[in-house]
Amino acid sequence: MSKRRVVVTGIGAVAAPGVGVDDLWKGLQKPPGPAPRHIPDWDPEPWIPRREARRLDKFTQFALVATDEAFAQSGEIDIDPNRVAVAVATGIGGLESLEMLVHESDKPEPRPSPFLVPMMMANAAAAAISIKYGFGGQVSTPVVACAAGSQSILDGLRQVQWGYADIAVVGGTEAAARVPAREGFKAARALSPSGYALPFDVDRDGFVMGEGAAILVLEAEEVAAARGATPIAEILGAASTADAHHITAPHPEGDGAERAVRLALEDASLDPADVVYVNAHGTGTELNDRTEGGVIARVFGDSQPAVSSIKGSTGHALGASGSVEAAVVVEAMRRNELPPNTGMTTKDPEIPLNDIVTEVREWEPGPALSNSFGFGGHNTVIAIGPA
């Protein structure tokens, strides 16, 4: 059996720079705000009835809102619902709900809500999408730290490529930019003391926590054609590896990350010279940015593509970051523009990147990579092409 081509027919996003893909894109062009990068004045009621929203953690609300936007672009899913898979990732899950449960349990006579356990479950968002739309295919939740959002795209790609599903609803969601998580990352010396993420900058000092979600609708090319859906991009290939090195620090030579990039190129039948843009993981931490820059330089050599990281604007939304960034790559192709590397003023001279996009730039869309590297040594790279 030959692999089926897999196209993207819809994207939706919720992020600190903007709710909805259009507002997110506009927000990426503004100066980044301070930490944490919360979604201001979040109110799910325009999309989710108040009674229902009260029974959903914010990370699930984000995912449902992003899904609504993705389906508005993709069109009604009118195929056998048992042929639709769902893969929605998270790094932490319903942290607010867990905090509420712990707080209630500490009382002399605890009376926790019966909804708190299903609200905090990592798989709650994927399950909520499956239940709302009646999708009966495989429903899964990759939990591989900061690579989770990209891993969901890889998982959905394989489901459709090999015929286990005809459509896959994929993405990531996170609402964990809360005090306990921030204190934990601070103790691990990962957070920026300045409160600003500066990817690839000489003065970078750590990442800034963010929140949000992105959903992509993937489907077999022939299925999209049969139901009249318009492809807006194609998932050309993907790969996932492990550093097998350290629970938080990347491999010092970027061994696992480099293998993931090279395997993604191989899976997509691309040569390094074919790639014209890389959306970098680019967290703004000392080790990640230096390691990733070295990986890109080694893989692409003299034909380095344009590079940018959007985490200066979005913050690092952990398990949602890879899907938000993949959605931005798709939108970059739709708009014929590249997003800027927000937060950088002076490139670190020790990072061997030749072309970091510092302002919105016109481009002729071509093959692009979206990199995600997570705690635990998880590396996932997605190759995306124009429709």
Catalytic residue among 246, 251, 316, 378: 316
Q: Is the pLDDT of residue 32 over 90?
A: no
The pLDDT tens digits of the residues spanning 20-29 come to 999 999 999 9
- Read off the pLDDT band of 7 (50, 70, 90): very high
Known catalytic residue at 281: yes
pLDDT in tens, 151-196: 999 999 999 999 999 999 999 999 999 999 999 999 999 999 999 9
Per-residue pLDDT tens digits for 220-272: 999 999 999 999 999 999 999 999 999 988 898 899 999 999 999 999 999 99
Choosing from 38, 251, 281, 378, the catalytic residue is: 281
Q: What domains appear along the chain, each with residue ranges and CATH number?
A: 6-233 (3.40.47.10), 237-386 (3.40.47.10)
Longest dimension (CA), the chain: 67
Catalytic residue among 38, 103, 146, 251: 146
The mean pLDDT value for 367-387 works out to 97
Cβ-proximal residues to 305 (8 Å cutoff; 6+ apart), any chain: 275, 276, 277, 278, 355, 368
What are residue 237's DSSP bridge partners? 383
pLDDT of residue 1: 64
pTM of the model: 0.96
Length of the chain as a residue count:
387
Report residue 124's pLDDT band, with 50, 70 and 90 as the boundaries. very high
Residue type, 247: I
Work out the average pLDDT over 128-146.
98
Cβ atoms 135, 215 nearer than 8 A: no
Contact 5, 385 (CB under 8 A): no
Q: What is the pLDDT of residue 35?
A: 83
The DSSP secondary-structure symbol of 145 reads G
pLDDT value at 362 more than 80: yes
Place 31 in a pLDDT band, splitting at 50, 70 and 90.
confident
316 annotated active-site: yes
Average pLDDT, the chain: 96
- Asked if the bond preceding 44 is cis, omega within 30° of 0, the reply is no
pLDDT-derived band at 133, boundaries 50, 70, 90: very high
**Separation CA 86–CA 41 (nearest Å):** 29
- Angle, alpha carbons 375-211-313 (nearest 5°): 95
| pLDDT score, position 139 | 98
Give the tens place of pLDDT for each residue, 274-309. Answer: 999 999 999 999 999 999 999 999 999 999 999 999
CA–CA dist 258, 242 (Å, integer) = 10
Q: Is 38 a catalytic residue?
A: no
pLDDT of residue 284: 96
pLDDT score recorded for residue 122: 98
Residue reference for tokens 């899907």: 323
